[in-house]
Chains A and B, each alone.
Chain A
Amino acid sequence: GEDVEQSLFLSVREGDSSVINCTYTDSSSTYLYWYKQEPGAGLQLLTYIFSNMDMKQDQRLTVLLNKKDKHLSLRIADTQTGDSAIYFCAERNSGNTPLVFGKGTRLSVIA
């Protein structure tokens, strides 16, 4: 079945760039997403990318998609303590089917 993998933990220093990586198995994925979850809260949609794109930038966030390798990454520039959260990668192939989520990467930002 479909699967989304991401590392569980990442620790960076404040001001550095963070790169969170994700791999997926479904070659028919149409949309790929990054969600952020702060402690005690629900998931917040951060950004998404269509499968026919290879890069999307939104302020401090850069999403890179390598469709051949089925690899998605989220780069956060100038990481701040407020970026500390769990980041989920997700993919969907079409229509209104449920998203398939990774287990989440816990980003810790050290001051």
Chain B
Amino acid sequence: DVKVTQSSRYLVKRTGEKVFLECVQDMDQKNMFWYRQDPGLGLRLIYFSYDVKMKEKGDIPEGYSVSREKKERFSLILESASTNQTSMYLCASIDRAKGQYFGPGTRLTVT
């Protein structure tokens, strides 16, 4: 099974700070995804990547960027954090047949 880890379970940042959320998967998968989860809105796809140095915008990319320099690592960057980016952030990788495997999530609070 693919194992996906995220660097932090909880983060508190100030408005305007640059925030890095790191995700690592251990099974040599090409595809990785970043979602945010908010009550009543479900999971919304922010960005995804099919391979190293490749990225695709998801449904809500505004205010975010990503970096994929190594196959196992996919970083989500908030260039200037805002309070409306307070959310649970979930990273996932994919097995072609079995679907997406998720990390434990990072709960980010922007004050």
Which residues of B line the A interface, CB within 8 A? Answer: 4, 30-31, 33, 40-43, 45, 48, 50, 58, 90, 92, 94, 96-105, 107
Contacts and interface: CB of A to CB of B under 8 A. Distances in A.
Contact of B42 (A44, A92, A103): A103
Interface of A: 31, 33, 35, 40-45, 48, 88, 90, 92, 95-96, 98-99, 101-104
Contacts of A92: 99
A99 B99 contact: yes
A96 B90 CA distance: 18
A44 B102 CA distance: 7
B101 A101 contact: no
A65 B33 CA distance: 27
**A35, A43, A45, A102 interface centre (most CB from chain B within 10 Å):** A43
B41 A103 contact: yes
B101 A102 contact: no
B107 to A, nearest CB: 8
Contact of A98 (B58, B104, B105): B58
B33 A88 contact: no
A53 to B, nearest CB: 13
Contacts of B98: 45, 48
Contacts of B42: 88, 101-104
A31 B105 contact: no
Given A88-B42, A104-B42, A98 B33 contact: yes
A31 B48 contact: no
Contact of B100 (A40, A95, A99, A104): A99
A44 to B, nearest CB: 7
A17 B2 CA distance: 31
